[in-house]
Structure 1
């Protein structure tokens, strides 16, 4: 059996699955403090300890991904104060002497789509989650695109839509993608959540503009085979039509891209992308241990 931990800023999703990436059991816990949340996580996996071979963790960040670092496996400078400089992998290792894969939550979702979703069989896959925050992950030939750290693509700068004078809700950058297009930015602007808006609300054209700018920037920087947009905001299924239209206008035929209904898409695995990605990473960790 393989273990998966999708560690989000709002909730942790823990799962047990097979090497074929079939989810056998799953539970979720609210993200409170490390002591409270990890106690529940450890209790969950202890029930399967005799069969458990490895664990994959996809965590909210920023996180330290460099194995040679003294703080490898830590959540580092997160705005969630209780979690700053928390030794996540070390805590799990104290309780489970197993191979543990460690990456960002959005990288995990990207890997899930790469092995079993809309990125399967493709060389280059980019995944964004647009929800409470915005994060991005990229894979090239099965390897995560990263350098001194993991990408923070959700904070790329975007230009205001002509009908939008909002400066953004991000405390670090004005006019960044997360600050302009994440769920809290919608609510701060309009006084209500995105799911409360009608499908034909004019705001969705504004939202689509920012997502299309993200796809435009990603296309010109990475030329991926597919760009996948997941997260709660993208559950507004009508939104993708507006994104495609805005992307075509922005690109203005500068480069030829794949057919948009296959190029800019939502996750085939839907809400399971992160969990399946963590299971797949656990499988990799077991193979290379």
Structure 2
């Protein structure tokens, strides 16, 4: 008999992937596998899900995946990976391979939209209707919820590839293979290593180039505030976790300065409430998959 409280989730990441079982938002079991080829990775994840389902059938499945993804349900390639620099993954049939063995409701979204949903339900976005979640690690991704719903349209937000105004004097060319100095190409982990000539975690707090990084992030925050008016912008991911205390205080100051009092809801007194660290840490991704499963149930 299927347990109405038991749901399954998959967080598909660029380096590792996780499958899990949860009772509500309480994770009961979790298995991690390295992300290799689509055939190997999706096959291992599906086998684990089938083993759990054979023990006690789960009521729904949520899939939170790195992107870009086709999320238009009327598209022929719905649930597939779109063009990606991740070798071998362009066109991968993620949704079909993970859901074919099961008859339960399911939902797929980007990993960052899933994390934004988890933070909205159980983390630093609780009590808000509009939340933006930014993760900075190997890349930069952004999930966006408006009125509690993940944003979809022609595709899904690709916040990491915004090209923004550069700080005067910053000559770093950027590291994105598609766009050079988009925000991902300026502040993600590999870009910081190229900018500093060393891994970011080894660079001293007083290095002058951190001011450029803070200016870039402030430009991102200003753009999001001006275009989507989120009540919270939450930062997660390995770079944010390692350098958040250093960067966010400066980013808030820069945001207030750059906006020049144009937005009435942003001030030195409110910036700390709006621009903050995410609360769920490394659970944001797995709980994002859980949140999608619960949404598939209508919860």
Report the TM range for the smaller structure's normalisation.
over 0.9
- Aligned partner of 2:201 in structure 1 is 195
Structure 2 distance, partners of 1:27, 1:257, is 43
Task: State whether residues 2 and 279 of structure 1, in contact with CA within 8 Å, keep that contact through their aligned partners in structure 2.
Answer: yes
Give the deviation of 1:94 after TM superposition.
2.2
Residue 250, structure 1, aligned to residue 246, structure 2 = no
Give the match's secondary structure for 1:4. Answer: strand
Residue 48, structure 1, aligned to residue 72, structure 2 = no
Structure 1 distance, partners of 2:62, 2:84, is 20
- Aligned partner of 1:174 in structure 2 is 180
When normalised by structure 1's length, the TM-score is 0.95
Structure 1 distance, partners of 2:17, 2:218, is 30
Map Cα deviations across residues 226-264 of structure 1 (whole Å, 9 max, x no partner).
111111111112221111121121112111225111100
Give the deviation of 1:91 after TM superposition.
0.5
Structure 2 distance, partners of 1:286, 1:222, is 28
Structure 2 distance, partners of 1:42, 1:199, is 44
- Worse-superposed segment, 205-214 or 105-114: 205-214
Map Cα deviations across residues 189-222 of structure 1 (whole Å, 9 max, x no partner).
2222111222333332221111111000001111
When normalised by structure 2's length, the TM-score is 0.92
Task: State whether residues 106 and 127 of structure 1, in contact with CA within 8 Å, keep that contact through their aligned partners in structure 2.
Answer: yes
- Aligned partner of 1:286 in structure 2 is 297
Structure 1 distance, partners of 2:139, 2:69, is 16
Give the match's secondary structure for 1:61. Answer: coil
Unmatched tracts of structure 1, length 5 or more: none
Give the match's secondary structure for 1:95. Answer: coil
Task: State whether residues 145 and 151 of structure 2, in contact with CA within 8 Å, keep that contact through their aligned partners in structure 1.
Answer: yes
Give the deviation of 1:156 after TM superposition.
0.8
Task: State whether residues 159 and 175 of structure 1, in contact with CA within 8 Å, keep that contact through their aligned partners in structure 2.
Answer: no
Aligned equivalent of 1:127, options 129, 133, 146: 133
Alignment of 1:138-287 (within 5 A): 138-235=144-241, 236=243, 237-258=245-266, 259-287=270-298
Structure 1 pair 186–18 and aligned structure 2 pair: CA distance change class (3 A): same
Map Cα deviations across residues 7-57 of structure 1 (whole Å, 9 max, x no partner).
1111112221112x0111122211110111122212322332023211111
- Worse-superposed segment, 217-226 or 49-58: 49-58
Aligned equivalent of 2:20, options 15, 19, 32: 15
Give the match's secondary structure for 1:64. Answer: coil
Give the deviation of 1:102 after TM superposition.
0.4
Residue 81, structure 1, aligned to residue 87, structure 2 = yes
Give the match's secondary structure for 2:100. Answer: helix
Q: Which runs of 4+ in 1 moved over 3 A?
A: none
Give the deviation of 1:98 after TM superposition.
2.1
Query: For the aligned residues, what is the CA RMSD?
Result: 1.5
Give the match's secondary structure for 2:193. Answer: helix
